[in-house]
Structure 1
């Protein structure tokens, strides 16, 4: 009984010592084991870890993707149209040993401060570089600019043991004091573009009209030429037919021509002719035989 009473505290102390030397590493985190502030162990895989009780300290860091939002900053693109921009960054702790050595005990809070400074600097550098205008920032090229900011910021953040996953520009606004002036300038630019576009449209319309007029004259000229050719061929054919008919029966041909002349001259209800009855025009009207009178 006395031995049991004596051994029980020892067993308890041993159990407490064993339990205090064990710790669990979650799959969502990475762990550093420190002894008097010096890194003794780095654990990046989930599982069970060991430490020396009372001497070692376990410091846990997130292995998941973290985010930081920047403050609203003012940038001046190449077209001198000032903009207010803010962004957010997604990052993760890539090297916890380097992260600890660079930022000390500040951890993620100090990392957020450092990242804000890096991002603000790179946003001003990229968006203020030559050839980048406010229209570029607001166009589909915005994605390429964000990727450039991410790459340049990542090269600086890597010295802190951080890896930047993505950078996104959120707001891109005009300062209130510049809004009206910028709006009026944009309206003037759009009016100028509309005027230029209308002038180009009128010029194109004149070219099309001139081409249409020229084509019309060419077609009309060709049609008139073809009509004269057809008329000439028709006259020639008519004359040939007349000549052929005259050759077959000259007397009948003369009679037919007289009837045609009578018809053409006496058209209308009130047609009147004043001619001598002895005129050759009435030879067939005066004849009983249907032949011209002598």
Structure 2
């Protein structure tokens, strides 16, 4: 009896353990019965919020899916603008699951990598087509915000078939295939959605952002070389202008020096002439007062000039040149 009670308790504990499950914060749980998503009478999937829940043991399982906003970084890729110019665009996408049942069926059991592959293909095709409608100026200015908004809305709503100006056939075919698989597994009991939209995968694109826009390396190098050549041309022009100004300043300075020297020489000649005139006047006055003394001074200067060098003079002793060097006759003994 006691062993039976223990056995019953163990069975009850096992049933309770397999019947209770916990959904963590930031996650949602969907119930699967024999591999199929369990739905209510309104054909809506049963989605469990975070907390402790109960399920039928053994025949039902619970698949938890991440309900948080997720970020998918895209590798920088080359895009062509309306002007046939290449740009390297680096971007990212923020997305979340909007329909857990459809997401689970479309991605083969909630495979995040498969969902991101389809989302990346759709996004890349759409962004490529949108950039192809704009020129570089529109992309790098205020139109960038409108561009990302249009891409986000297009991903969520999908293309309108032949009426859509931007077609993304490669990505649309892959998403339409996943949507057809959902339609087949649910026997057409789910609401119809645009098979070209991310809603067909149960995904909502929250935001699209372009992180960086660069030119290809070869184009950047050509632009840098052209900018360098332009700057060098400007530098040469400024240098030639500077040399021209330097020559002008140098010529003006030389003219000013020449003019100043000429003016100084002119003034010096005037001063020298005035001095010579003054000296001549003084000599004349002195000569007029005492001619003999004046003649004596002139003779002394002549002696100084004649006897200061090594020149040899041959003169007659009776020459008047030596008259002041002779002994006066009145004083001879």
Within the alignment, does 1:31 sit opposite 2:72 as a pair?
no
Q: How does 1:197-216 map to 2 (within 5 A)?
A: 198=236, 201-216=239-254
My pick for the range that moved more, 189-198 or 235-244, is 189-198
In structure 1, the residue matched to 2:194 is none
Q: Superposed, which structure 2 residues align to 1:171-182 within 5 Å?
A: 172-174=216-218
Runs (5+) with no aligned partner, structure 1: 133-144, 176-181, 290-294
Alignment RMSD: 5.1
- Summarize the Cα distance change of 1:287–1:72 in structure 2 as closer, same or farther, 3 Å threshold: same
Contact persistence 2:29–2:48 (CA under 8 A): yes
Shift of 1:118: 4.0
Cα 1:262/1:131, change in 2 over 3 Å: farther
- Residue 14 (structure 1) aligned with residue 13 (structure 2): no
2:296 pairs with one of 255, 258, 268: 255
Q: 1:66 to 1:109 in 2, by over 3 A?
A: same
Change (3 A) 1:246 1:131: farther
Question: Which residue of 2 is the match for residue 97 of structure 1?
Answer: 98
The question of whether the paired residues in 1 share the 8 Å contact of 2:80 and 2:131 is answered with no
1:66 paired to 2:58: no
CA–CA distance in 2 between the matches of 1:266 and 1:111?
A: 120
Larger Rg: 2
Which ranges of structure 2 fall in alignment gaps of 5 or more residues? 31-37, 108-114, 157-203, 329-333
TM-score, structure 1 as length reference: 0.57
Aligned twin of 1:156:
151
**In 1, Cα distance between the equivalents of 2:69 and 2:300?**
119
Number of matched residues?
A: 252
Contact 1:118 1:156 in 2 (8 A): yes
Which shows bigger deviation, 212-221 or 160-169?
A: 160-169
SS at match of 1:230: helix
Residues 271 and 187 from structure 1, CA distance in 2 versus in 1: closer, same or farther, beyond 3 angstroms?
farther
Name the counterpart of 1:129: 136
Could you say what secondary structure the match of 1:161 adopts? strand
- The question of whether the paired residues in 2 share the 8 Å contact of 1:150 and 1:164 is answered with no
2:222 paired with 1:222? no
- Cα 1:162–1:254 change in 2 (3 A) is farther
Change (3 A) 1:120 1:232: same
The structure 1 segments of at least 4 consecutive aligned residues displaced by more than 6 Å after TM superposition are 98-104, 185-193, 265-268, 271-275
CA distance in 1, matches of 2:65, 2:277: 121
TM-superposed deviation, 1:212? 1.0
Preserved CA contact (<8 Å) 2:75 2:91: yes
- 239 and 150 in structure 1: CA distance in 2 versus 1, 3 angstrom threshold: same
Q: CA offset at residue 221 of structure 1?
A: 0.6
Describe the superposition over 1:101-127 as per-residue Cα deviations: whole angstroms up to 9, x where unpaired: 99994533332223323443455456x
Say whether residues 1:116 and 2:124 are aligned partners. Answer: yes
